[in-house]
Amino acid sequence: MITTNSYTDLPDPTTVPTVGFLPRFLAWFIDQVVLLVLVFPTYYVMVVRPNLGVVVAIWVLQFIYKPLTEARFGATVGKWLLKQRVVDRHTYRRITLNQSFVRYLPFAVSQFASLFVLIRVFDSPELAEVVGLQSYVNFITYYPLNQSFAVNLCNNFPVFSSVWMILDPWSRALHDRWAETFVTRKLPTVAIQRDPLERGDEL
């Protein structure tokens, strides 16, 4: 549920071991490395054996990676390696699928912009001149549509959301505030007890 939380509704920030901007950025970077495994398949179905349906399928895998892993495991690969967990701010337990998709909203805007560009690139006659993976990466990077203000604005939505971590006492990004979540290093010892059937097992 999207909401704006007043500070009076939140716990003392010294009692919640939330994760700051730099560790979360490092976790994001690790996730980007993990997702690099999809770069070559994308190149293959864009250039070697063009197939728009497979291009969209690969995009779907990239799209669902973050929300599904955070809902199911409480962390992406990057967060898991750095012992970070996404938790509900009320119960300090694993978040729901709904919360995970609310958290993903800024990234979803960026992802849909990327899909739009991929479809336009797929239909571009100049793509036939691309030879090799490095040439493909350069072509995508400097494709005119990728330089447009609207696409760049969409691609930077996650940045706009994330900079709030620097100002927030609980290191919450905007998407944390919307989904009512914290990113913590471990579960606080004062975790609220709830019926496990209502929320699921603890991390």
Q: How far apart are CA 104 and CA 161, in angstroms?
A: 10
pTM here is: 0.83
Residue 154 lies in domain: 18-188
Q: How many structural domains is the chain composed of?
A: 1
Output DSSP code: residue 192: P
Whether 124 is in a domain gets the answer: yes
Q: How far apart are CA 102 and CA 114, in angstroms?
A: 19
Whether 198 is in a domain gets the answer: no
Q: How far apart are CA 67 and CA 101, in angstroms?
A: 6
Quickly state the pLDDT bin for 200 (edges 50, 70, 90): very low
Q: How far is CA 9 from CA 13, 154, 177, in A?
A: 12, 31, 12
Task: Give Cβ neighbours of residue 61 (< 8 Å, ≥ 6 apart).
Answer: 38
Whether 167 is in a domain gets the answer: yes
Whether 154 is in a domain gets the answer: yes
Whether 195 is in a domain gets the answer: no
| Predicted confidence (pLDDT) per residue in 49-97, tens digit | 999 999 999 999 999 999 999 999 999 999 999 999 999 998 989 999 9
Q: Calculate the CA 156 to chain-centre distance.
A: 12
Whether 6 is in a domain gets the answer: no
Whether 55 is in a domain gets the answer: yes
Whether 105 is in a domain gets the answer: yes
φ/ψ of 25, rounded to 5, equals: -65, -40
- The pLDDT score that the predictor gives to residue 195 is 41
